[in-house]
Structure 1
């Protein structure tokens, strides 16, 4: 999931907007950790005796760990007390961390490095905006941590998407007015969070799923600094 907040100055002579800052969501946008979340949740579901499909997994994108667990248990038609659910969530996360600990730079999605490099060359600040509590592990393992001026992750927020907290905190840390922000997201909950924050949004992935976004791209190979001026 990628979140990009843009601070614009209007150039009256040229009639164009100038980008000053970008925030990126992580899962499914910069790297494809979504597959590792899916494998870990599927492993838990199978352990509990029911199937968990990739279609089911779409409902978990951009959602907190405990909320994701609630959705998974709803799919399986089972319920547990809070202590048991906490233990399940911890077990799922341990499996997930095991998977992502083996990640490297080859797992950064196409076009991302070129786009981040272009932003740096233009002097545009970059921040992460993700609900993941394992964001720093992923950034460091894949080598993209060097591109970020700030990181807002699951350790710094209390509300999951579609609550706009993660985006609003990112904008605040970069000194960006929410109305001057654009959010890049691969999840419906993230697009809704952007709308709730009063920000513009660009979907990364399926136009059918991300229909509330201002526009949708299939990958960052389609992105450039110039295209951000909309």
Structure 2
């Protein structure tokens, strides 16, 4: 440096015209939603989140919905993204395996059960016998309700993975027959495959929504 103040000369630092970009770096620290115009996709996603929040708030009740809807919204989006990724060729569908679906369902159900039995023990016992049950049927009802409660995480996990496997299997089986078909039949097959793909994309949204809604209902029962 020939001069103490030469470090403030824009031409000395790497001699780039980007030096003045340092004035804009501060904007990067601010969250983009405050200074960038949101895209249509961003607006759509915000609308989905808001509508899901409203729905889950109704299911949970106004007392317990403070921030707890975010768990189920993130669960919904995580499952939906994984389901959609599985529709692309050569991408592994992680939600078709019980190891992932059970890993999502079991901790949720266990935490609800532990929380419910510790904090609302009488309420949880009351759930085992539905209102208006004849005294003779009470022991049977307790057994049935207990079994139905225990198999909940299993049904959540199996429903999601079975739906993912079924659609993908159908697409694969139909696709494998393409080599032995005539030209007209191949065109028919392509149309059927496209329709099945649309159905699968709908299923991937529906299944993630069902998983999130059922988890919300199970959590609302323990309060």
Highest RCO, 1 vs 2 (Cα 8 Å, sep ≥ 6): 2
Q: Which interval holds the TM-score relative to the shorter structure?
A: under 0.3
Comparing both structures, which one devotes a greater share of its residues to helix? 2
TM-score by length of 1: 0.23
Larger Cα-atom Rg: 2
